[in-house]
Amino acid sequence: MDLNRVIKLLEETGKDDLEEKQLKSVKKMVQCYQNGLPLRDLAQIFKILNLCAGKIKKLPHFIEPAYNILKLCGLPFLKMKVSDEITYAEDTANSIALLGDLMIIPSSELRIQICKCIIDFYHAEPPKKHITGYQQASSSYKIKMAEVGGLAKTMVQSLVLLENQLVEKLWVLKTLQHLSASEANCTLMVKAQAASGICAHLNDPDPSGQLLFRSSEILWNLLEKSSKEEIIQQLSNLECLLALKKVFKNLFTRGLSHYDRQLRNDILVITTIISRNPGAPMTECGFTRDLILFATFNEVKSQNPLVKGLKFSNSYEDFELKKLLFNIIVTFCKDLSTIQLLIDGKVILALFTYVKKPEKHKIVEWSAAQYEELQLHAIATLSSVAPFLIDEYMLYQGNARVLAFLEWCDSEDFFFSHGNSFHGTGGRGNKFAQMRYSLRLLRAMVHLEHETINKDLCEKRAIQQLIGIFKNTISKYNDKDEAILLEIQSDILLILSGLCEHHIPRKETFGTEGVDIILHVMKTDPKKLQSGLGYNVLLFSTLDSIWCCILGCYPSEDYFLEKEGIFLLLDLMALNQKKFCNLILGIMVEFCDNPKTGAHVNAWRGKKDQTAASLLIKLWRKEEKELGVKRDKHGKIVDTKKPLFTSFQEEQKITPLPANCPTIAVMDVAENIRAKIYAVLGKLDFENLPGLSAEDFVTLCIIHRYLDFKIGEIWNEIYEEIKLEKLRPVTTDKKILESIITASENIGKMTASLQSEMIESQARQDVQNEQKVYTKVQATHKQRELANKSWENFLARTSNVKTLKKAKRLQENGIQSSRYSERPPNAIFHRTDIKGLNTTIRKILSDMIQQVLRSPVSLSKTPTTIHFNQEDQNAALSTGGCAGGYVMCTFVANQHHSCRTIQVFE
């Protein structure tokens, strides 16, 4: 088909029979493309469509050809080559975008056909007839090109033209419903203010009910797939909220069908999202008051005609509505302007109707599983709402209700919970979920630090009850519910901390039973801290309870010390986990005020016999390394002017600050653990710390002077600030300031000098110790050489007759030389040789062995032992080994080494 000829013909004017020719050519073109539009011809075909549309105003006969061309647009697009989709992408996008521009044509028939054409993009059908050389474009190609061309934006803008034309409007909404399925189209629709434009007309007359359904679907898609903040901003106006209010009230009071209830819940969800915007005029339009009424009418009887005669059924939609109303109440309580409305609506009383044990044989509108879920949801809602309505909470005896409910949760009463909801997680077959949310409520109220609430709880024996619950959770422990039990225990400890802090009598009530549960937690296996189940949170709560419930109460402190609590604290500190160290050191500082603590700290021993002082000094070195403090390889001070300066302080320039603003040097005290380590070691006495190495003593010199260094650091900041502000102190002040800075620097030099002496002394000591070791090794080697030499001489004497004779002569000469030249009178003469000794030691031994062999004892069963005297010892030893080739002899000294024995074996 020569499309250029058709275009040229449509562009001509002035001829008489031109209209008929034009209509005929367009009709011929439509017949030619009955099986689909090729991508390469698409731009020309849409140009023809545009020309036809331009003639409709003057020549109504062109409506039909335009309509027919639009029908063709619903057919599949065809391509000759695979690359056609990319090659003709721009032409296709511009062509499809033209469909939205054609909505301005005042023809209902054409507008509806445009909508049908676009909807067909999402329901692609195969070509009616296969054309040789052509293939169908991918099913998502039209949708993608519609996004690129910005069709969704023009379709939204067309709604303005259709305010009084319901049928066409419904078709446009149906089209937008399809288009809003993609994020790109939703973004375009948001730019065209689709949310506010659609929401404002929710209540337009529509007997079919499609307008409300399709509009809510579009709003849902916009909220899910585009900028939620921008959508909320568009809907946060009086016109939109009044429309939503009217729709919701109608559906709530008159909607009876399953469809109406679903739509009602959808509208409420959209409203809940809008209510999170503080600028939304929810209260001004009266929507907040109505929603509070709908949320509480079932629990608190109301004479309002809106809810007169209304009842919830146990259908899924009504059940979901109840939960959604609880949710929106939580949103309302964050806006202080709605607090009075919550009070007037008796929200607290309505929610407290669920905080009680289930009553038997009572007819309720909810099933057991539904009631349980609503109960948990109500308690969770109370945790958010009650802190804003303290007077209402106390008026309705909130503490008494919660404690009574907790008593039931901790009792052994049979209760089969379903645990099949978000709030009921881990609560199937037990009452842990109810206990968990009740404790959350108490925790929220206690941490308001409102004395009336806390005092009321203590008067109702809450401390004793919570300690009892904690003990019972220990006995009920099982791996399946481990995470929930840990959360329950953490909340109990946090509540006890909030109640006991700053109140000595309450700490006394906490007493030894409370200390026992704290000690139980502190004995937890350290490996569990990395499990991710909540042991870390529990340990933090435990440390907080030590601070709030034990410190300051001397009986509890003494009991804690008696039960080796300090040892457990130091064991935790030795785990070297920074997240715990700061809190533990703070506790240690306070505990050291007790005179009994020092002995416990010094008695503690960790791995490799590490002492507490050594552990603290090690933590100091680690902290300084992380802070980037300058130290040499021995841990000695490098910069005597700034001995404590961190890398952060070096980077920060000193700037003049008001007197009430802390400087960097002051903030440094609170931002690391060095000050606490100094305080603990100071209370333990720097001079008598056990188990320290030379490196520890070098570091201890710095710790000992921490306060002096910090004071000097602050004075140095003051001096620098004065310089920056170009102030000139009076002469006396200037001299004093310079003296202080000089004195601080001298302290640094003195400390560095002392460290140097310690390092040198240790080096000398190391040299001396090394020399002692070398001397010992040398003596050992010398002794070994002498022993070897003696053994060699001995072997030589027993193996060589000449050597033996020579030794004998030397012995006799030595004996002779030692005698007097003249015998003293009355002297007794003693012979030095053994009389009758005419045989060798080997002969003696052989005779002994022969004696054994002649004995009746079986040698294979028991060894035979032959004793010989001390005189034969050396001779017997010299023979050892094998005798006669068939007997093995060993020589064993007896206990007193007075003689030797020979054990003979086969």
**Total residue length of the chain:** 906
pLDDT at 896 over 60: no
CA 215 – CA 110 distance, rounded (Å): 23
Q: What is the band of 853 on the pLDDT scale with cuts at 50, 70, 90? A: low
Q: What is the mean pLDDT of residues 136-151?
A: 88
pLDDT in tens, 658-694: 878 888 888 888 888 999 999 999 998 888 888 889 9
Minimum mean pLDDT range among 128-137, 249-258, 767-776, 858-867: 858-867
pLDDT at 116: 92
pLDDT at 330: 93
On the question of pLDDT at 902 being above 70, the answer is no
Does residue 321 register a pLDDT over 90?
Answer: yes
Task: Name the burial class of residue 267, with classes exposed (0-12), middle (13-18) and buried (19+) by CB atoms within 10 angstroms of its CB.
Answer: buried
3-state SS assignment for residue 198: helix
Averaged pLDDT, 289-316: 87
* Beta pairing, strands 882-883 & 37-38: unpaired
- State the Cα angle at 214 between 208 and 218, rounded to 5°: 165
As given in the structure block, the two tokens for residue 554 are 């001397």
In the chain, the percentage of residues whose pLDDT exceeds 90 is: 46
DSSP labels for 401-462? HHHHHHHHHHS---------SSTTTT-TTSSHHHHHHHHHHHHHHHTTT-HHHHHHHHHTTH
Return the top range by mean pLDDT from 6-15, 129-138, 578-587. Answer: 578-587
Asked whether residue 288 carries a pLDDT value surpassing 80, the answer given is yes
Which pTM was predicted?
A: 0.77
Asked whether the predicted pLDDT for residue 137 surpasses 70, the reply is yes
What is the pLDDT at residue 477? 67
Which residue in 455, 554, 426, 443 sits closest to 491, CA to CA?
Answer: 443
Average pLDDT, the chain: 85
pLDDT reported for residue 479:
67
Asked if 158 and 114 count as a contact pair (C-beta separation under 8 A), the reply is no
Give 322's pLDDT tier (boundaries 50, 70, 90): very high
Alpha-carbon distance 810 to 623, whole Å?
75
Q: Is the pLDDT of residue 421 over 80?
A: no
Residue 287 has pLDDT above 90, yes or no: yes
Question: Average pLDDT of 228-241?
Answer: 93
- pLDDT reported for residue 874: 47
Residue 809 reports pLDDT greater than 50: yes
Residue 880 has what pLDDT?
A: 41
Q: What is the pLDDT of residue 339?
A: 92
Which residues are registered as beta bridge partners of 882?
888
pLDDT at 565 exceeding the cut of 50:
yes
Per-residue pLDDT, 892: 45
pLDDT band at 879 (very low <50, low <70, confident <90, very high): very low
Could you report the per-residue pLDDT of 19-76, keeping only the tens digit for each?
A: 888 888 888 888 888 888 888 988 998 888 888 888 888 888 888 888 888 888 888 8
151-160 pLDDT, tens digit each: 999 999 998 8
Please state, in angstroms and rounded to a whole number, the distance separating the CA atoms of residues 622 and 601.
21
